[in-house]
A and B are shown apart, each in its own frame.
Chain A
Amino acid sequence: MTDTVLPGAAAGAQNRERVRKSLTRRHRNETLFRWAGILSIAAALGFVAILFGMILSKGLPSFWQSTVHFEAYFDPELIQGGPRPERADFASPADHQQAVNTWQRAVTMSNWNKIVETGLREAAPDFEIESRDLLELVTSAGRFQLRDIYFADPEVLGQTVPVSILASANTDNWLKGTIDRSQPDERQQLAATTRALADQFEENGTISFDFAWHIFTNVDSRSAPATAGLAGAFMGSLYMMIVVIVLAVPIGVASAVYLEEFAPKNRLTDLIEVNINNLAAVPSIVFGLLGAAVFINYFGLPRSAPLVGGLVLTLMTLPTIIIATRAALRAVPPSLRQAALGLGASHNQTVFHHVLPMTYPGVLTATIIGVAQALGETAPLLLIGMSAFIANIPAGPLDSATALPVQIYLWQGNENRNFFEARTSAAIIVLLGLMLLLNAIAIFLRSRLEKRA
């Protein structure tokens, strides 16, 4: 009796011993794996924190820019062109417009620098400084700011008006310390007197650091770097995104629905599927070459146009949307299709009433990820001429434009490093802000759609 029981009991004890040993090993593995996970997440978060920290610390000061506040006397002796032509004095609107144009040209030719200079000297009456050095203090676009005040309201003629003009990029560098203040005179961008005046102005409040709204409203500028803004690049990116959304979403979703729900499963559709997957992996610069060859050379679309950029980015975004939509369609439970078919819904009705609506959250996420990717894409845009310096806000998708990431690239390469390093980071902040906004919209819409379903 004991003989027959013992082997089993011994085997049981042996097994328990083995299980206990393997348990220790399994627990150790679990602990190790958990720690590896925690460490990698900590490392990833650390890198993100460093990245954001650097960008924010460099870019944020750029949003507050040194601005000179002084009293400008709109001297009637200096301002040419006479009174603004009245509409009543002209037979036709065209004649009037022509007269206004002539008047504006004459006004522009006035010696605005003299008005700026007088105003600045008023602000520092006892300061000895040469005119040239004095004007170095403010941006060269300052005279146009005064002119625009006069255009907007010719009544200011003969009056003294408080104005705010951006300090020049070099003054901004000096005051913010982005240039080494201990460097000798010959290595400084500004004359010693200009620097001294800038310091004095900062002390007495004539120069203050104001929020630089013009970053959002101005276009890029080379002659007056202090006034450079992102409006042109932003509009270029916006037009491209519109083109991408209008083209990529319907084409991508339609392709996915056809391939997944209607197309016969054969070699041809297999080949198409493989190619779509490969397309997603094609380097973006290749799409740029394709765009240059097809859209610009063959179809004769204009260079630097957001339309062409949008078309190229559409090609890049399509595989993302198609692949994600197909995955979402495949994830729809078959019971739903059966329910609809069992009620006598046709294939079309089943797909469009029941299956496709289930994929909206997935399609939406894919669209936003695709659009965000396209928004940050630079390489293909360089090849279709969107890296040119454009001094106007594009009025439509066929106007020359640049894009936000390209603007970052251009500013990064600007020769006034001291000023544009911060400005580049500022542009990156704007771009990242847009991305965050897009992602927030995606999350919001997805949660709403999922709640409805």
Chain B
Amino acid sequence: MDVLAGKVKVTSKTLDQTMNPAELMDHPIRLSARDVTVHYGEKQALHGISIDIPDRAVTAFIGPSGCGKSTFLRCINRMNDTIEGAKVGGKIELDGEDIYSADLDVVELRARVGMVFQKPNPFPKSIYDNVAYGPRIHGLAKSKADLDEIVISSLRKAGLFEEVKDRLAEPGTGLSGGQQQRLCIARAIAVGPEVILMDEPCSALDPIATAIIEELIDELRENYTIVIVTHSMQQAARVSQKTAFFHLGNLIEHGDTEDIFTNPVNKQTQDYIMGRIG
């Protein structure tokens, strides 16, 4: 329990580090979505989402189950392409480039927009190979030493290196849940993405592992644009600078996290944050 208390204290410290709105102004828009709709067959899952996501900051998507927040997240690296019958409309631009344009290679997009999933899903390979896989397929390392360098620095950035440095050859599936999730984050970082999407990255983890990941997210925002989907409003409040509230496939309200949590404009947002819906 002491450990838990300690960790919680650490995360409450990170809350203090939340940037003020003026600081956020310095962050240019990295991603911008306009009128994004998604249909799964006959069913419409998203109704015209428009949002701008700033660079080097954490944007949280919150909302009740089935509200479309994960669906929208998966539009950003076109993972919806892999779902049969999914149709995406509207426009999403990454650095002003339409990611649904015919000239854009989806493989290249996913190298730029990494993803961390709800359930830790390391490959059934060694810890080293898990992290090295992305750089290998994209040809990022010129030599074995290069690759070692990428793997080690990625594991460091994900705060996992010290724990696994003696067993890089052991299977990644043998790690604890929280370690596996950090391995997945290291794996995503190793490709050198600009944006990291996280789909409820802590929902399968215990509070201690969650606290560690949240701390990590806070560190990562120095270098990456992070979009995180979360069920936990506390988590959104702790880690994000921007928050977007989704409900029934609509983007109800979005803005600075502080504003959303302290002074929501919309009645539905207010109800959700107060725990009246959801």
A interface residues with partner B (beta carbon < 8 Å): 265, 333, 335-346, 349, 353-354, 358, 453
Instruction: Please name all residues of chain A whose beta carbon is closer than 8 Å to the beta carbon of B110 when the two chains form the complex.
Output: 341-344
Query: Are A335 and B124 interface neighbours, CB within 8 A?
Result: no
Given contact pairs A342-B188, A343-B110, A343-B133, a sample of 19 additional A-B residue pairs in the complex whose CB atoms are under 8 Å apart: A265-B84, A333-B121, A335-B117, A336-B121, A336-B124, A337-B82, A338-B82, A338-B115, A338-B121, A339-B117, A339-B123, A341-B79, A342-B77, A342-B110, A342-B117, A343-B137, A344-B107, A344-B137, A346-B107
Least CB separation from A347: chain B residue: B82
Counting CB contacts under 8 A, is B191 at the interface? yes
Chain B residues touching A, range? 20 to 34
A346 to B138, CA, bound (A): 10
Instruction: Please name all residues of chain B whose beta carbon is closer than 8 Å to the beta carbon of A342 when the two chains form the complex.
Output: 77, 79, 110, 114-115, 117, 188
Query: Are B121 and A345 interface neighbours, CB within 8 A?
Result: no
Output the least CB separation between A347 and chain B (Å): 9
Instruction: Please name all residues of chain A whose beta carbon is closer than 8 Å to the beta carbon of B115 when the two chains form the complex.
Output: 338, 342
**B86-128 interface bits toward A, Cβ cutoff 8 Å, 1 = contact, 0 = none:** 0000000000000000000001111100110101011110000
Output the least CB separation between A356 and chain B (Å): 13
Which of A333, A338, A340 counts the most chain B CB atoms within 10 A?
Answer: A338
A335 to B115, CA, bound (A): 12
Instruction: Please name all residues of chain A whose beta carbon is closer than 8 Å to the beta carbon of B84 when the two chains form the complex.
Output: 265
Instruction: Please name all residues of chain A whose beta carbon is closer than 8 Å to the beta carbon of B114 when the two chains form the complex.
Output: 342-343
Output the least CB separation between B228 and chain A (Å): 15
Query: Are B191 and A339 interface neighbours, CB within 8 A?
Result: no
Which of A265, A335, A340, A342 counts the most chain B CB atoms within 10 A?
Answer: A342
A339 to B117, CA, bound (A): 8
Query: Are A336 and B111 interface neighbours, CB within 8 A?
Result: no
From known contacts A335-B119, A349-B137, infer whether A343 and B124 are also in contact, taking CB-CB under 8 Å.
no
State which of A335, A343, A346 has its C-beta within 8 Å of the C-beta of B134: A343
Tell me if B's interface is mostly helix, strand, loop or mixed.
helix
Output the least CB separation between A154 and chain B (Å): 63
Which of A339, A341, A345 counts the most chain B CB atoms within 10 A?
Answer: A339
Instruction: Please name all residues of chain A whose beta carbon is closer than 8 Å to the beta carbon of B108 when the two chains form the complex.
Output: 344
Q: Can you list 20 residue pairs at the A/B interface with Cβ under 8 Å?
A: A333-B121, A335-B117, A336-B124, A338-B79, A338-B121, A339-B123, A340-B123, A341-B110, A342-B77, A342-B79, A342-B110, A342-B114, A342-B115, A343-B111, A343-B134, A343-B187, A344-B109, A344-B134, A345-B107, A345-B137
A209 to B111, CA, bound (A): 74
Instruction: Please name all residues of chain A whose beta carbon is closer than 8 Å to the beta carbon of B111 when the two chains form the complex.
Output: 343-344
Counting CB contacts under 8 A, is B227 at the interface? no
Query: Are B117 and A336 interface neighbours, CB within 8 A?
Result: no
From known contacts A344-B107, A344-B191, A453-B124, infer whether A339 and B184 are also in contact, taking CB-CB under 8 Å.
yes
Query: Are B117 and A354 interface neighbours, CB within 8 A?
Result: no
Least CB separation from A358: chain B residue: B124
Instruction: Please name all residues of chain B whose beta carbon is closer than 8 Å to the beta carbon of A341 when the two chains form the complex.
Output: 79, 82, 110
Instruction: Please name all residues of chain B whose beta carbon is closer than 8 Å to the beta carbon of A336 when the two chains form the complex.
Output: 121, 123-124
Please give me the 6 A-B residue pairs with the lowest Cβ-Cβ distance, nearest first.
A344-B110, A342-B115, A335-B121, A344-B111, A339-B121, A343-B134
List CB contacts (< 8 Å) of B136-188 with chain A: 137-138, 184, 187-188
**B252-270 interface bits toward A, Cβ cutoff 8 Å, 1 = contact, 0 = none:** 0000000000000000000
Instruction: Please name all residues of chain B whose beta carbon is closer than 8 Å to the beta carbon of A358 when the two chains form the complex.
Output: 124
A338 to B117, CA, bound (A): 8
Least CB separation from B115: chain A residue: A342
Least CB separation from B81: chain A residue: A341
A358 to B187, CA, bound (A): 20
Query: Are A343 and B188 interface neighbours, CB within 8 A?
Result: yes
Output the least CB separation between B65 and chain A (Å): 19
Least CB separation from B173: chain A residue: A453
Instruction: Please name all residues of chain A whose beta carbon is closer than 8 Å to the beta carbon of B187 when the two chains form the complex.
Output: 339, 343
A207 to B251, CA, bound (A): 97
Query: Are B123 and A354 interface neighbours, CB within 8 A?
Result: yes
Output the least CB separation between B94 and chain A (Å): 14
Instruction: Please name all residues of chain B whose beta carbon is closer than 8 Å to the beta carbon of A333 when the two chains form the complex.
Output: 121
Least CB separation from A453: chain B residue: B124
Instruction: Please name all residues of chain B whose beta carbon is closer than 8 Å to the beta carbon of A353 when the two chains form the complex.
Output: 133, 137
A338 to B81, CA, bound (A): 11
Least CB separation from B78: chain A residue: A341
Instruction: Please name all residues of chain A whose beta carbon is closer than 8 Å to the beta carbon of B138 when the two chains form the complex.
Output: 344
Output the least CB separation between B126 and chain A (Å): 10
Instruction: Please name all residues of chain A whose beta carbon is closer than 8 Å to the beta carbon of B188 when the two chains form the complex.
Output: 342-343
Instruction: Please name all residues of chain B whose beta carbon is closer than 8 Å to the beta carbon of A346 when the two chains form the complex.
Output: 107
Least CB separation from B84: chain A residue: A265
Output the least CB separation between A168 and chain B (Å): 62
Least CB separation from B184: chain A residue: A339
Output the least CB separation between B190 and chain A (Å): 9
Least CB separation from A451: chain B residue: B171
Least CB separation from A339: chain B residue: B121
A341 to B114, CA, bound (A): 10
A358 to B173, CA, bound (A): 14
A265 to B79, CA, bound (A): 20
Instruction: Please name all residues of chain B whose beta carbon is closer than 8 Å to the beta carbon of A354 when the two chains form the complex.
Output: 123
A346 to B109, CA, bound (A): 11
A353 to B49, CA, bound (A): 36
Instruction: Please name all residues of chain A whose beta carbon is closer than 8 Å to the beta carbon of B134 when the two chains form the complex.
Output: 343-344
